[in-house]
Amino acid sequence: MRHSPYQSLENRFRRLFALRDAEAFLTWDLAAMMPPGGADSRAEQLAQLRAVQHNLLTAPDMGELIETADGGALTPDEAANLREMRVQWRRATALPEDMVTELSRANSACETAWRTARPASDFAAILPHLERVLARIREKAKVLSQALYLAPYDALLDAYEPGGRAADIDAVFDDLVAFLPGFLDEVLAHQAVEPAVIRPQGPFAVETQRQVGLGFMEQLGFDFERGRLDISLHPFCGGSHEDVRITTRYNEDDFTSSLMGVLHETGHALYEQGLPRKWRDQPAGDARGMSVHESQSLMIEMQVCRSAPFLRHAAPILAEAFGGEGPAWNADNLVRLFTRVKPGFIRVDADEVTYPAHVILRYRLEKAMVEGTMEASDLPTAWNEGMQTLLGITPPDDRRGCLQDVHWYDGAWGYFPTYTLGAMTAAQLFAAAKRADAAIEPGIARGDFAPLLNWLRANVHGKGSLLTTRDLLTEATGRPLDAAPFKAHLRARYLT
């Protein structure tokens, strides 16, 4: 049977997405299950698989198929799918196959080295690997810049935040840098007159922490028929729409870090599980960029699960699970514990007020490295100076400094600003959801997240990439991204 150009494209992307899913599971296995001896063969497997995907996307007739399909009779959703196909094709055709393969190998080798360098706080051991990754990232940025008519950093950013530009981010981040220090001082002064936080004392058995996390995942709406929870050095969400894998890490002295890691990754997973199944193997069925993705994880972790209504619901559950007694397990104390603001070294453990500073630092550093105004060897010093400037603290070692995140060592450059853009998006979406459905907040207070999840399914998850980021947010909230709801949320939570 002869297919139309558009149908032919759908068939090709269906195959491409199957290969992409296979790559995702190999990557998950590398982080969560693979023995160290498999690193070299896994790097080659991933490199070859990425090369096959690249060749499929850059087949000689792809451009003609896209142009011909664009002149056909398409539904609005098909037109949106074709738009996203064109974006992926344009990016792929800009990059030679050997560049994709070599970058994949460099990323895999660097990520493997990071897994041992981080706990040893050994930046010198990973520096040669990082330098190779950075050299190839610069090459990639230069090639994409010329093909897409974007600045080199913007060409990388656009892959994670479609339409995002550094000039716009600079303006938003400069505004936050001007706002946050004074606001942080106000919050710390406000906290100083509150009752002291009492930290529950462990040890907290890993299996108990796991069961607690699984229980809250179920309450939030995670579908265990299409996903699972595991352990990795750095928490993440991976897999496919139909088999979502999330991970966390455990500390027997502190259950809070793992719990919030699980809740954060569950936010990502709910988004993946809620993407439109009709378009599951097409670009239109993908998540709408990383700022929207991060908004879903930060909404669940920060907006919802650090709120007083949720923590009052969670307090007796936590106390029973861990055998906790006394004032440390009092709901009001847990509210203060989970909303405690204190500058710290670790991004994934940071509170809402200081978290943007962590992201702004990484954004500025990665932009400087991509643009060539800073080298990889300068990273530890520049990192420590930036932490001192933005948060008034200096990491005592690189494990708690520039080695803490996997992103650069795994080749994810241009990604970091989406975390804070996501926090802003989360505040705006959550405010709109509460305005739209008065049942959301009472539901959270009793552990019923269906009203919120239903709103997200209708207004965010189910849209996939059928809309642009700006249009999705405007339809859901009535306006494009605005820092005001984020600032209003911070003031309401931490100064009242």
Could you tell me if 211 and 254 are in contact, meaning their C-beta atoms sit under 8 angstroms apart?
A: no
Beta strand 227-231 pairing with 237-240: unpaired
The catalytic position among 84, 161, 265, 272 is 265
Q: Annotated catalytic, 265?
A: yes
- Phi, psi at 196, each rounded to 5°: -65, 145
| Sheet of strand 227-231, all strands in order from the earlier edge strand to the far edge | 227-231, 243-248, 237-240
Q: What is d(CA 33, CA 181) in angstroms, rounded to the nearest whole number? A: 42
Would you state the torsion angle of the CA atoms of residues 243, 249, 255, 259, taken in this order, to the nearest 10 degrees? -30
Residue with tokens 């804070």: 420
Q: Is 470 helix (H, G, I), strand (E, B) or coil?
A: helix
What's the CA gap between 477 and 275, in Å, rounded? 19
Task: Count Cβ atoms below 10 Å from residue 97 Cβ, excluding itself.
Answer: 14
Q: For residue 55, give both structure tokens.
A: 């060749």
3-class secondary structure, 229: strand
The gap between the terminal CA atoms of the chain, to the nearest Å, is: 66
Q: How far apart are CA 219 and CA 214, in angstroms?
A: 9
* Partner residues linked to 244 by β-bridges: 227, 239
Written as one letter, the residue type at 272 is: E
Tell the burial category of 145 from Cβ atoms under 10 Å away from its Cβ (0-12, 13-18, 19+).
middle
In Å, how far are 17, 295, 464 from 11, measured between CA atoms? 10, 31, 19
In this structure, are residues 393 and 441 in contact, taking their beta carbons and an 8 Å threshold?
Answer: no
What is the total residue count of the chain? 496
Long-range contacts of 92-98 (CB under 8 A, 24+ apart): 92/54, 92/57, 92/58, 93/57, 93/58, 93/62, 93/63, 93/147, 94/143, 94/144, 94/146, 94/147, 94/148, 95/54, 95/140, 95/143, 95/144, 96/143, 97/51, 97/54, 97/55, 97/58
The distance from CA 253 to its chain's CA centroid, rounded to whole angstroms, is: 26
Q: Which residues contact 84 (CB under 8 A, 6 or more apart)?
A: 282, 283, 284, 286, 465
CA neighbor of 455 nearest in space, from 472, 437, 469, 473:
437
Q: Compute how many other C-beta atoms are within 10 angstroms of the C-beta atom of residue 60.
A: 6
Which positions are annotated as active-site residues?
Answer: 265
